Structure 1
C-alpha cells in the first residue's frame, strides 16, 4: 500500500492520482489511468462550480448505473466541496422525486437508460444532465484542461459533506445519512490497512454505487491503496467470473443475496482459476460463506457498519461461525431491550448453534460510547430518535453470546432489508392500502432463508371479498411507485387485524407467527404469481432455513 501522510479528505485522495499513469479505472469500454480519472473529476468539478445556482446547497443527485461517470462525479464533488446524493433507480414515481428534492439537489446526473423513470415527475429547480449526449459533451469540453484544486464551491475540508446516502427507518420515508470527507477518508484508510491494499490490486465494483457498500468498502480503499477499480454496470452472477478474469480482479464487495446468486450458477471446472483473493460484505451467512470458499477458493469476510457510522462490529480470528465479531475500536456496544432500556441477557446456544432464548436475548444493538454518526439531512426528528438517551440506536436486532460475540438477527419493528435494500413498511402499506378488497393492511419483515429479510403482508379483507391471487398480483403490477423489492413474498389473509390495547396493529404477534400460522398464506414465485403455502411447500421451505442455519430466527 502506498503510504505518505494519512489523507484527511477524499479530495486529497483524488488529487494524489494526478500524474499516476498506471491503470486506474477498468470498464466495459476500455481502460483509464489514475491520472485520467483525476482529470475527468477535475473537469466536472469546474463545470459543477459554474452550473450550481448561487446560494444553493452544493448538492447533486447521481442517478446512474456503475459507469465511469459515477466515480467521475464522486471525485468532482470531493474536489468542489459538494455532496452527492446517490439516487436509487429501484424507486418509482413520487417517491423517486421526493428523494431528489428532499436532498436539495439542484443538478441531477443521469443517463438515457434512466430517463423513463423521470417522465412525468415534478422536479422544480433541478437541472438534468444526461451523460453520453452531445449536449453533455459540449458542456464539459471547455473544462478539459482543469486540474484538481483549481475550482471549488467550498474549500474541501474533513467536515465537508460528500455523501447523502439514503437509509430507511420506522418513520417511513428514507433518510439521507450525512457522510463527511474526513470520515470517509478515514474509513477507506482503515480498510486499506485491514486488507493490505496495494497498487497491484484490482477492486471489482459490482454492487451499485448509489449504495454505501460499493463506495465506502470498495472504491475508497482502492483510492487509498492506489489500486485500480473495475466497474460492472449492474451485478450479474453469470458474468462474475468472466469479469474477474478479464479485469484481473483481486477484491470485491457484496451485500444481501449476491453470494447466493453466485452459488446458484452452474459449477465449472475452472471455478478456482482466477485472481480473486478476498470478498468483503454483509449478510452472506456462514453456510454460504463456507460453500463459496470451498467452491471458488475465496475467503469472505463479513462485517457490520452502518452508513451512518454510529456503530461497527469487527471480525477477529476467533470469531465463531455465524457471528460477526465484537465491538469496533472505541465503540461500547450493547444489546438492549427497547421496552425496558436494559441490557439483554447473553444468548444460550445449543451445540448446533440454535438460539435457545431468543425472546430474551434478542434486542436492538446500541452504541453507548463514541459515535461517528453525523446526522440526517433535514430530519431532526429522525436524528433525535437515533441518538435518544445519549446512545446511538442502530435499529438492528442482535444477540450476544457469553464471550461477547455479536450475531445479527434482523431489523427492528417495521424496518426491512430485502436483497441489500432497506425498506420501510409504512411506504409499502400505503401502496397496498389502495387495493379495494383490503380493509386493513400490515407489512412486516420475516427472515429470509439465506440473508436479510423478506416482505410479508397481512391483509384483512372487506366484507364479502374473497382473496384472488391473480387479481392481487395484477394490482401490484400496476402500482407505479412499488419498487422492485417491495412486492410481498408472503401474504397472510386474516379474519381481523390483531391490535394492541391502544388500537395499534400488533406487529409483534404477526412477526412472531410469520408464515407458520393457521390463517391462509400465499407465497410469491420469482415470476410474480401467488400460490398457496401448502404443507409440502412449507416443509421444503423450512428445510432450506435449516440448511442455512437460520431456522432459529423464525421462532423469535
Structure 2
C-alpha cells in the first residue's frame, strides 16, 4: 500500500461496543452467505476482507485535514454495506445521499456534510452533472475524490489493498463515540437535517433488536428499503451484524420480486416503512404465498388491519415500532396492545404526550363501549421524552439541536395520544396538524378511519387553506387502476364513523390509482399539499353554501353530507372567493387540463 496522506493510525482493536469490532469478528467466520445479492454471495470472511480493502483505500484517498466523511450515492448494491463496514473499520462516517434529490438540493446535502469522498455508480452520474463541488474532481491529486463502483478503474484502484486486514489502517480510532453515520431527515419542514449516529448507538440499536426478536447466526436479513435511510441501516443491517446473521440485498423495493427474492436468498427477517406492505398486499394472491422462509417483519405504519391481512396471507408476523431517527424517543410494541396502538414507552424512556405550546400533559383518551378511543381530539399532543435520551445532535445545526431538546426534553415532532390504559397511538407529524373552524385535528387519526372505507386501498389526509381562515380537510384516496369513487357510499361511511371529530370529514376528495410516494416509500405529503384541489385527477367536494361559515351550522353545509364533482365553473367560483378574502396566494396547484372531467362514479 502507498503511504497515506492522512496519516492513518495503526492500533489495537478497540473494546466492545463498536461496529468495527463486529466487522472484525466476521474475519474469522468462514460461513457462506455473509452478503447476498443478485449474482453474488460472499462468505463472512470475504465480506470483512472486502471492507478492509476499502478502509485502506479510504485512508489513502482522504485529503489531509478533511472530515472523514464518505458520501454514498448508491442503490442497495453490495458496495453500500461494504462501505458501511469500511467506514466503521477506518473510524470514518458514511453520509447517506438520497438519489431522489436533484440539482441545488443534492449539492446542498453533499456540501453541508463536507463529503471528502463520493462513492456512486454509473446510473447516478447524471445527477451530478453541473454540480460545482470539489468532491467531484476525479483522478490525480486534489481536495476530493469520486469513485464509480461499476467502472473498470474501480477494481484496479482496489487491487493493491486486497491483502489489508480489518483494523490495520484507520483514519480515526473507531471508538463507541466515533461518528458512524450522517442520515438525513425527510425535510418535510425545511432543508433535511443530518442526524449524527455514532458507532456505539448503532451497536446498541442493533443489539436491542437482535435480542428482542431472538435474531441469530442462522437468520438472513433482507434489506429491501433504501440504505440511505436510517430504517434499513439501523433496523436491518446493524441487527444482522450484532446477531452474526447474513445480509441479502434488493437493489430497490419491488412488490412483484419480493417473494422470489426472499425464497432465493433464504431471508427470514425484513424491515419496511410506509406503504410497502400495502403494495405487497395489492399483488395478485397465489396459493403458495405462505410458502416462504420469512418469520418476521419489523417497521412502521402498516396498521393493524394490513398487519393481520399480511400474516393471514403470507404467514409472517409484522411488528410495528416507533423510534425517532434521532434516537431521542422510542415506543415498544406489545402483543397485548389494542388495535391501532403503537405500544408503551420503551425501557428507560419517560414518554408523555404534551401541549406543544405549554408543555402540560394532555388528558388521556377514553375507550368507548365498542373499544374505540373517544375524546381523542383533546388528547392529541406532541410526544416528548422527559428522561435521558440517545440524541447525538445534528451535523452543524445548533438551532435545530436546541429546538429538539428544549427545556431538557426531547421533542419528537410527532403527534400522539395516550389512552387511559397507557397505550400510545400515533396521530401524525406535527406539521400534519389541521385547524378547522378553530378545532385542532390530526391527519393520521382521520386517515386510519378512511383506510377502512370499502374500495379504498390507502388514504392520505392533509390541510388546504379555507377561503376565510384556517384550514379545510382534503383527502387523497387510492382506489387502484380500475377503481371508482362512490360519493353516496363514502358519505354513508362517514356518517357511520362516530369516532370522527365533527370537523374531520373531508371537504375535498382527490381520487388516484395510487398515492405518490417518496424514495423511502412514505406518502409524499408535500406534493399533495402543493397541488391541493387544483390537480389533474378528479376531485369531489362538499360545496360551501356560505363562505362566511364554511363548517357545520345553520348557514353552512357540513362536509361529508354530500359530494359532487369539482367542475371547472366550481373551481373558478371557489378561487374567486379566495381572491375576495386575500387568500389566493395560499392556494396551490395550477389550472386544470383542458377537457377535464371527473371519473365516473358508482351509484348505489
State TM-score, norm by structure 1. 0.78
- Alignment CA distance shift 1:492-1:520 (3 Å): farther
Q: Which residue of 2 aligns with 1:50?
A: 60
Q: Which residue of 2 aligns with 1:247?
A: 265
Q: Which residue of 2 aligns with 1:31?
A: 41
**1:80 lines up with 2:97 in the alignment:** no
Which residue of 104, 112, 119 maps to 1:102? 112
Q: Which residue of 2 aligns with 1:115?
A: 125
Query: Does structure 2 retain, via aligned residues, the 8 Å contact 1:283–1:452?
Result: no
Q: What is the 5 A alignment of 1:475-490?
A: 485=524, 486-488=526-528
Displacement of 1:458 in angstroms is 5.1
**1:16 lines up with 2:28 in the alignment:** no
Q: Which residue of 1 aligns with 2:293?
A: 275
Q: Which has the larger radius of gyration?
A: 2
- Alignment CA distance shift 1:192-1:452 (3 Å): farther
Which residue of 24, 36, 40 maps to 2:50? 40
Query: Does structure 1 retain, via aligned residues, the 8 Å contact 2:220–2:248?
Result: yes
- Alignment CA distance shift 1:156-1:267 (3 Å): same
Residues 254-278 of structure 1, C-alpha deviations (whole Å, 9 max, x = no match): 0010000000000001011111111
- Alignment CA distance shift 1:516-1:82 (3 Å): farther
Which residue of 180, 188, 212 maps to 2:206? 188
Query: Does structure 2 retain, via aligned residues, the 8 Å contact 1:171–1:382?
Result: no
Q: Which residue of 2 aligns with 1:309?
A: 327
Displacement of 1:125 in angstroms is 3.9
Mind listing any 5+ residue stretches in structure 2 that lack a counterpart?
1-13, 137-144, 435-441, 452-457, 468-515, 517-521, 535-540, 544-557, 572-587
Task: Determine helix, strand or coil for the equivalent of 2:279.
Answer: helix
Task: Determine helix, strand or coil for the equivalent of 1:156.
Answer: coil
Q: What is the 5 A alignment of 1:390-409?
A: 390-409=408-427
Q: Which residue of 2 aligns with 1:465?
A: none
Query: Does structure 2 retain, via aligned residues, the 8 Å contact 1:410–1:453?
Result: no
**1:173 lines up with 2:181 in the alignment:** no
Displacement of 1:139 in angstroms is 1.3
Query: Does structure 1 retain, via aligned residues, the 8 Å contact 2:118–2:135?
Result: no
**1:212 lines up with 2:230 in the alignment:** yes
Residues 337-376 of structure 1, C-alpha deviations (whole Å, 9 max, x = no match): 1122111110123344544323211110000001100000
Query: Does structure 2 retain, via aligned residues, the 8 Å contact 1:201–1:228?
Result: yes
- Alignment CA distance shift 1:169-1:347 (3 Å): farther
Question: Equivalents in 2 of 1:225, 1:218: separation in Å?
Answer: 11
- Alignment CA distance shift 1:454-1:125 (3 Å): farther
Query: Does structure 2 retain, via aligned residues, the 8 Å contact 1:25–1:37?
Result: yes
Displacement of 1:291 in angstroms is 0.4
Displacement of 1:169 in angstroms is 5.3
Question: Equivalents in 1 of 2:426, 2:303: separation in Å?
Answer: 10
Which residue of 221, 246, 250 maps to 1:203? 221
Q: Which residue of 1 aligns with 2:532?
A: 491
Q: Which residue of 2 aligns with 1:440?
A: none
Residues 367-396 of structure 1, C-alpha deviations (whole Å, 9 max, x = no match): 000110000001000000000111000000
Displacement of 1:230 in angstroms is 0.6
Question: Equivalents in 2 of 1:30, 1:289: separation in Å?
Answer: 32
Question: Equivalents in 1 of 2:373, 2:523: separation in Å?
Answer: 33
- Alignment CA distance shift 1:32-1:367 (3 Å): same
Displacement of 1:415 in angstroms is 8.9
State TM-score, norm by structure 2. 0.72
Residues 430-453 of structure 1, C-alpha deviations (whole Å, 9 max, x = no match): xxxxxxxxxxxxxx9776555795
Question: Equivalents in 2 of 1:132, 1:518: separation in Å?
Answer: 54
Mind listing any 5+ residue stretches in structure 1 that lack a counterpart?
417-443, 461-476, 478-482, 496-512, 541-556
Q: Which residue of 1 aligns with 2:155?
A: 137
Task: Determine helix, strand or coil for the equivalent of 2:358.
Answer: coil
Query: Does structure 1 retain, via aligned residues, the 8 Å contact 2:223–2:247?
Result: yes
Displacement of 1:516 in angstroms is 9.9
Task: Determine helix, strand or coil for the equivalent of 1:343.
Answer: coil
Question: Equivalents in 2 of 1:47, 1:459: separation in Å?
Answer: 58
Displacement of 1:405 in angstroms is 0.6
Q: Which residue of 1 aligns with 2:437?
A: none
Query: Does structure 2 retain, via aligned residues, the 8 Å contact 1:515–1:521?
Result: no
Query: Does structure 1 retain, via aligned residues, the 8 Å contact 2:221–2:270?
Result: yes
Query: Does structure 2 retain, via aligned residues, the 8 Å contact 1:256–1:452?
Result: no
- Alignment CA distance shift 1:350-1:120 (3 Å): farther
Question: Equivalents in 2 of 1:63, 1:516: separation in Å?
Answer: 49
Higher relative contact order (CA 8 A, sep 6+): 1
Q: Which residue of 1 aligns with 2:274?
A: 256
Q: Which residue of 1 aligns with 2:305?
A: 287
Query: Does structure 1 retain, via aligned residues, the 8 Å contact 2:373–2:419?
Result: no
Query: Does structure 2 retain, via aligned residues, the 8 Å contact 1:415–1:445?
Result: yes
Task: Determine helix, strand or coil for the equivalent of 1:207.
Answer: coil
Question: Equivalents in 2 of 1:239, 1:529: separation in Å?
Answer: 36
Question: Equivalents in 2 of 1:182, 1:294: separation in Å?
Answer: 38
Q: Which residue of 2 aligns with 1:366?
A: 384
Question: Equivalents in 1 of 2:600, 2:359: separation in Å?
Answer: 40
Question: Equivalents in 2 of 1:167, 1:111: separation in Å?
Answer: 23
